[in-house]
Structure 1
Amino acid sequence: MRLRRLLPVLGLLAWTGGAAAQEAGTARDTAGPWELALEGSFRRCGLMLAAEPGPVGQALRFPAGCRRALPVVNGIAGWRFEGGLIQLLDREGQPVLAFAGPDGEGIRSAESGSGERYSLAQAGARPAAPETPLVTQAALSTLPSAREASRDSWAGAPATAAAVTGLYTLDRFVEKDVCRVMLRADAAQVQEGCRDPGLALFDPTAWHYEAGRLTLVARRGHSVELIPVGEGRWRRDPEIGTTFVLRRVEP
Structure 2
Amino acid sequence: MRVLRVGASVIAACVAAIGIAHAQDTSTLKKDMPGQWELSTTERSKTCVVTLKADAAGQGYKLELEPACKTALPFTKDIVAWSVRGLDIVRLQDATGEAVIDFTEVEAGIFEGLRQGEGVYILQDLAAARSMAKSMDQMIGDWSMVRGNGQPVCGLTLTNTESSPDNFQVFLKPRCDAAIAQFNPTQWRLERGQIILMSKSGDVWQFEADDNAQWRRVPDTADPLIMLRQ
Give the structure-2-normalised TM-score.
0.48
Give the structure-1-normalised TM-score.
0.44
Q: Which has the higher contact order (CA 8 A, sep 6+)?
A: 1
Which structure has more strand as a fraction of its residues?
2
